[in-house]
Amino acid sequence: MAVRELLQKMMEEYGDKIYRLALRYTGDVFQAEDIAQETFLRAYSRLHTYDRSRPAGPWLFRIAVNLCRNWSRRAGAREMPMEIKDEPEVEPGPEHRYLQRERERELLQALHKLPEIYRDVLILKHVAELNYNEICAALGWELSLVKNRLYRGRMMLREALRKGEIADA
Amino acid sequence: MHRCPDPLTWQAVVDGEEGGAQLLEHLDRCAACKAIYGEIAEAAGIADGLFTGAALRPGFAAAVLARVKPFPAGLVAAALFALVAVSALLLDPHYWHWWLTVGMTRHCGRLLDALIEIVFLGRSLGPAWLIGAAALLVALELVLLHKLKTVEEC
């Protein structure tokens, strides 16, 4: 398969997932698209490092996570956006929409307060929908570490939301 | 199953990564494990809220492909081949004979075949490696020719 065809196939298969992952890191559709684009451009220039006998997903997610981490570090000084700008509305009714946005904002706020290692694993599991082995390959971690950090990350996220609810009350 | 599995095992069950009949039987019988399972399922449910169905705009793939520039392998290979030939000619036209007899042409041909196969047929070895390999060949040739010249002068 020619290189450009391979890249196109990768974009068809993983483009949306990588975009969603970047969207959860950045909270901005334009930044997310930039990161998705950069992911595939880097993948193209590093195709010689990709083992074609394996699925491309974990390899691409590894590139995307690194780009997102870099973005987060650069954006560290700025306020992290806590809601998705310009995401298309999907639910009917303004009240429902408001409540949904509010819940999403709280969830993202809690997520971005977590240490990077927990944030990465939660995003790969719940946004990119990778299984344990794919997360291992994408982050270069042992299986036991992935399970442990996923567990702790989920508990910390739940705790952070509970604290937020108490503070709101 | 007499001993209770650890929370990470229950997490794997929640995530659909594990789900043996023994585990599920134990879960039915053990209240403590049921409570742990419930907590994990609740936390996983909260984290599921992170999912978004957002999709890339149409035309994204075309935009990326437009920014991808294919490596001009043919041009680079031709330039390097010319460089090898000119360097041999500049050192001494007489060495063309030596160049042919030691089979350098065959080796260069193989390198070119590899270039074509790798780049044009899509196996995409890093372009830097290709240029590096060809440049090494040029350097090797120059060193050999220089040595030969030195030996002859002696």
Sequence ranges of the domains in chain B: 7-50, 67-153
Residue numbers in chain A where pLDDT is lower than 70: 1, 77-92, 165-169
- Between CA B122 and CA B60 the distance in angstroms is 22
| 3-state SS class at A85 | strand
Question: pLDDT (tens digit, 9 = 90+) per residue, B109-141?
Answer: 666 666 666 655 545 555 556 667 777 777 777
pTM exceeds 0.90 for this model: no
Q: Are B64 and A41 a contacting pair at CB < 8 A?
A: yes
Q: How many CB atoms lie within 10 A of CB A152?
A: 15
pLDDT of residue A157: 96
CA–CA gap between residue A69 and residue A48 (Å, rounded): 23
Domain that holds residue A134: 3-85+98-163
* A76 lies in some domain: yes
ipTM: 0.83
The mean of the pLDDT values for chain A is 86
> What count of other Cβ atoms lies within 10 Å of the Cβ of residue B87?
15
What's the pLDDT score for residue A37? 96
CA distance A124 to A29: 18
A61 to A8, A15, A39, B86: CA distances (angstroms): 16, 10, 8, 47
Give tens-digit pLDDT for A54-101. 889 999 999 999 999 999 888 774 555 555 555 555 556 777 778 878
Distance between CA atoms of residues B83 and B140, nearest Å: 13
Task: Assess A35–B contact: CB distance below 8 Å, yes or no.
Answer: no
Residue A104 domain-assigned (yes or no): yes
Verify whether the Cβ–Cβ distance B61 to A104 is below 8 Å: no
* Mean pLDDT across chain B: 77
Q: Looking at residue A20, which CATH number applies to its domain?
A: 1.20.140.160
| Lookup: tokens for A68 | 């997102």
For chain B, say whether A43 makes contact (Cβ under 8 Å).
Answer: no
Q: Does A166 touch chain B (CB under 8 A)?
A: no
The alpha-carbon gap from A163 to the nearest alpha carbon of chain B, in Å, equals: 14
Alpha-carbon distances, residue A129 vs A14, A83, A169, B76 (angstroms): 11, 21, 33, 43
Q: Is residue A126 part of a domain?
A: yes
B122: contact with A, CB 8 A cutoff: yes
Instruction: Report the domain count for chain A.
Output: 1
